[in-house]
Amino acid sequence: MNDIGVVILAAGKGTRLNCVDKPKVMLEIGDQPIVSYIIEALQQAGFEKEQIVVVVGFCKEKVKEYFGDVVTYAEQEEQLGTAHAACIGIDKLSENIGTVLVVGGDDSAFYSNDTLLHFIHDHLKHKNMVSLLTVEPEHFESMGRVIRDEKNNLVAVIEKEELNGEQKNIREVSTGTYCLDRKWFEEIFLHMKSIKGLEELGLSKIIEMAIGQGKKVEAMKLKNNNEWFGINTLDELNAANKKKSNK
């Protein structure tokens, strides 16, 4: 565990949720901030403060005030995409960290520590360069899709802005949770291109980059679809709150 680090992406403003005085990840479900649940799960899994980096941006002081010195912080001054945020977070990890788990702070509130540990374990066991956690949610229409070949191997992750007609019928989507080789990512980040239509450096691009280099990649599907819950609208926030309250 000592050579594994975690980067939590928590710099987003939450425009669709009308966030004004606090970042999206600090909105509450079950009477505590969304991002607090993934931090608790990581702590239960055995990760120490130095291994958990929270990338903050909009209203960053709100996050720091709440969590204090429980985690390490990295600041993303400009929101230039998830890959950019991940790179900033990874830079804060100690040099001995060779494997990095990257999770979103706004959609990981229902992950169990066992799920996270199994994901990391399988990534290392299979000697993957990149592993992606996927899910088949009830509502998938507004999300990027996971593309597999006839042998069920991962081929690409296509953002919703780039989907063609047939791809829109695919139910399997990316959770945005990755496990990756740190050294490789730091090298390829320098050559990343922005996602068409978003003009951001998105993590989804690292899949096709790894495949293009002949590296081993794998998409691992969540056994329990209820462990991933994206929160992008007020309805989803209310649903997540109800879900937490019923646990």
Domain positions in the chain are 4-134+176-245
Read off the pLDDT band of 196 (50, 70, 90). low
Q: Which of 24-28, 122-126, 141-145, 231-235 has the highest mean pLDDT?
A: 122-126
Across 212-225, average pLDDT: 93
Residue 147 has which token pair? 């593309």
**How far is Cα 193 from Cα 171, in angstroms, rounded to an integer?**
26
Residue 208 has which token pair? 């096709």
**How far is Cα 171 from Cα 41, in angstroms, rounded to an integer?**
27
pTM of the model: 0.92
Say which DSSP state 195 is in: P
Contact 181, 130 (CB under 8 A): yes
Give the pLDDT score at 17.
Answer: 67
Q: Which of 73-82, 120-129, 154-163 has the highest mean pLDDT?
A: 120-129
Residue 173 has pLDDT above 80, yes or no: yes
Measure CA 204 to chain center: 10
Across 58-68, average pLDDT: 91
Q: Of 77, 83, 76, which is closest to residue 100 (Cα–Cα)?
A: 83
Residue 189 has pLDDT above 80, yes or no: yes
Give the pLDDT score at 22.
Answer: 82
In the chain, what is the greatest distance between 2 CA atoms, to the nearest angstrom? 50
Give the pLDDT score at 159.
Answer: 77
**How far is Cα 10 from Cα 69, in angstroms, rounded to an integer?**
16
Locate tokens 């309250």: which residue?
A: 245
Give me the CATH topology for the region 4-134+176-245.
Spore Coat Polysaccharide Biosynthesis Protein SpsA; Chain A (3.90.550)
Residue 103: count of CB within 10 angstroms of its CB: 25
Residue 120 has which token pair? 């990391």
SS3 221: strand
